[in-house]
Amino acid sequence: MRAMLAMACATLVTTAASAQDWGDAPHMVASNGAIIAMPALDDLTCPQMTFVLHRIDLSGYRGPDPLPKGHADYRIFDYEDRLTRRHYYACMMNAQKLEDPSEAFSFGFGQ
């Protein structure tokens, strides 16, 4: 059953990857057979980073624990970790900043 689920995820990941134009982005085949495109981090927009992260997650290449450096899929894990950090700082932290901090108190109180 688990092998069938892994194959379904790998198929979904490959199909989703073909929907994006990654050009000459390097690809890696995970130990479970999933093909994962790893485009350059600097070239990705926030929606693209989100897409790549979802695709990596759907691949099922690892469980919930971090991988040791000697693991066959460590290169994917390292890429995922760097992408997650970049996504968080570029898309989550910066998206939530208010230009004028006083705007945070300009609503929700009796006028």
**pLDDT tens track for 70-91:** 889 999 999 999 999 999 989 8
pLDDT of residue 63: 82
Contact partners, residue 104, CB within 8 Å, separation at least 6:
98
Q: How far apart are CA 97 and CA 45, in angstroms?
A: 18
Q: Model pTM?
A: 0.65
**Can you tell me the mean pLDDT for 11-20?**
45
Q: How far apart are CA 85 and CA 92, in angstroms?
A: 10
